[in-house]
Amino acid sequence: MEHHNTHPFDAYVDSDSKILILGSFPSVKSRAQNFYYGHPQNRFWKVIARCVNDEVPQTLEEKKQFLSRHQIALWDVIDSCDIAGSSDASIRNAKPTDIKYLLDQAKIKKILVNGKTAAKLFRRYWPDLEFVELPSTSAANASMSLERLVEEYKCAFSD
């Protein structure tokens, strides 16, 4: 059953952020933890840690320190939507976040978009902004191995 949800937490960004990674909308687990990529089977933290040659952060505080250390900002393309659980395929009536406002606040040099749904919506809302579409780190993207994800993301980080 779809429920209308508003994004429950702010973008994670600081004035030194250079890379912005955008997802679609937080999963049920992420909404419960009040932070990004909270589902234990989502491979986001493992992938990014391998891309920047660092330890995988475990706690919320470690995740925030990790992001700051590597000048990474996190946010989502969608501010509010109707969604069934965590299913991107069920997203309806999406309203976008204010990406341009965030870009004015930080020194973002590159935008990476995590997954097809986020990329499709990003293109719709901000057709004038350049970004790199990357495969979803979600466990739902089971056809892509951790090693392949790391390879794809490393290319985006190294440019």
Q: Where are the domains of the chain?
A: 3-158
- Superfamily of the domain at 3-158: Uracil-DNA glycosylase-like domain (3.40.470.10)
pLDDT in tens, 61-87: 999 999 999 999 999 999 998 878 777
Looking at residues 1-23, what average pLDDT do you find?
88
Long-range contacts of 5-9 (CB under 8 A, 24+ apart): 5/31, 5/80, 5/81, 5/82, 5/83, 6/79, 6/80, 7/76, 7/78, 7/79, 7/80, 7/97, 8/34, 9/34, 9/35
Half-sphere exposure of 143 (CA within 13 A, CB side): 1
| pLDDT at residue 8, rounded to an integer | 83
| pLDDT at residue 82, rounded to an integer | 83
| pLDDT at residue 6, rounded to an integer | 84
pLDDT in tens, 90-142: 778 889 999 998 898 889 999 999 999 999 999 999 999 999 999 999 888 88
pTM equals: 0.93
